[in-house]
Amino acid sequence: MTQAPMDAEDRSHRRSAASRVSDWLRDGIISGRIAEGTFLDEVWVADSVGTSRTPVREAFHRLSAERFIDLLPRKGAQVHVVTARELDEVNSSRLLIESHAARSLCAESAGAPPEMHTLLDEMTAAEERRDWFDVVNLNWRFHRSMVRAHGNAVLAELYDTLRSRQQRVGLRALQSSPARVPLVNAQHRAIVDALDASDNDRLQVVLTEHLRTAPEIEAAFNSRSGMRG
């Protein structure tokens, strides 16, 4: 009679440990602390997080489904190398959602959510510190605030599923071409201005340009993936 609760507790503990491993690896990969192409040793990960190897294997499968790592037969796990195609796919998915939200906000003359104005200043401060990890987090919040202001909970949930991948490709893009920061800032301010003016035509143009992969970034991504491949 006491065995079933204990089994449930064991399963809960294992899930919790696997989640801790997943979070630790995901944060390390997004921030660049664990470099692309790195082979992940189960023992090293388990020792680093303080777990057994079983939750590490579970975390590997979870992160493989999220495209953060690749599971290689007879070789183990390797941190996935982000490609220019993936950057394009993430940005194309974002554009579908963001352009719809922007169009609706303009039709309602709702203006930019107040948070977007605040986040502009916070991003500028993070950029001056060259804290790219903070920049991509703030950038995600900036765009997400527009999506959530639209009020469609399903679209907001879909957008949230892109968060980790958006942050990861965004960080790589910034690191590949930090000279583009002033242009990105100008585009962010143009997005806010167009929302405040309810100028959907202008807003769609700015969003499309903002989420288009620049040639120099595409070249940097392809060069890196070729060297790792």
Domains of the chain: 3-79 (1.10.10.10), 84-214 (1.20.120.530)
pLDDT in tens, 161-182: 998 888 888 888 887 788 888 9
pLDDT in tens, 3-53: 444 454 455 555 689 999 999 998 898 878 898 899 999 999 999 999 999
pLDDT at position 157 is 95
The residue-averaged pLDDT of 83-112 equals 93
Coil vs helix vs strand at 108: coil
pLDDT at 219 over 90: no
Q: What is the dihedral of CA 45, 48, 51, 52, to 10 degrees?
A: 40
Q: Residue 59 has which token pair?
A: 């975390």
pLDDT at position 213 is 81
Global confidence as pTM: 0.78
pLDDT at position 14 is 57
